[in-house]
Amino acid sequence: MYTLTVDDRELVVTLMLGILRNLDPDGTHLGATDPHQALRLAKDSPLDVAFLDVEMPGEINGLDLGKRLRQCYPKLNIVIITGHSEYAVDAFGLDASGYLLKPLTQEAVAHQLSVLRFTPEKEQGARIRIRCFGTFEVFCNGIPMDFSYSKSKELLAVLVDRHGAICSNDTLIGCLWPDEPANQQTKARLRKYVKDLKDAFAAAGAADVIRHQERIGVGLDIARIDCDYFRYLQGDPIAVHQFNGRYMIQYAFAEETQAELIRIQEQRV
CATH code assigned at 86: 3.40.50.2300
Q: Exposure of 101 by Cβ count < 10 A (0-12 exposed, 13-18 middle, 19+ buried)?
A: middle
Distance CA 197, CA 189 (A): 13
The confidence score (pLDDT) of residue 13 equals: 94
The confidence score (pLDDT) of residue 125 equals: 54
Distance CA 43, CA 134 (A): 12
Both 17 and 78 in a single domain? yes
The confidence score (pLDDT) of residue 86 equals: 60
Distance CA 159, CA 153 (A): 10
Distance CA 113, CA 95 (A): 15
The confidence score (pLDDT) of residue 8 equals: 93
Q: Which residues of the chain have pLDDT under 50?
A: 91-92, 123
Tell me the β-bridge partners of 50: 4, 78
Q: What are phi and psi of 213, to 5 degrees?
A: -110, 110
Q: What is the dihedral of CA 6, 12, 18, 23, to 10 degrees?
A: -70
Both 85 and 153 in a single domain? no
* Domain stops at, among 123, 152, 186: 123
Contact status, residue 78 vs residue 97, Cβ threshold 8 Å: yes
CATH code assigned at 137: 1.10.10.10
Both 58 and 162 in a single domain? no
The confidence score (pLDDT) of residue 62 equals: 82
Q: Cis bond leading into 103, ω under 30°?
A: yes
Both 254 and 156 in a single domain? yes
Both 113 and 153 in a single domain? no
Total domains, the chain:
2
Q: Which domain holds residue 16?
A: 2-123
pTM score over 0.85: no
Both 180 and 109 in a single domain? no
Both 183 and 205 in a single domain? yes
Both 107 and 17 in a single domain? yes
Both 42 and 169 in a single domain? no
Both 162 and 66 in a single domain? no
* Domain stops at, among 57, 89, 123: 123
* Domain stops at, among 88, 123, 158: 123
Both 159 and 80 in a single domain? no
Both 169 and 87 in a single domain? no
The confidence score (pLDDT) of residue 121 equals: 55
The confidence score (pLDDT) of residue 214 equals: 80
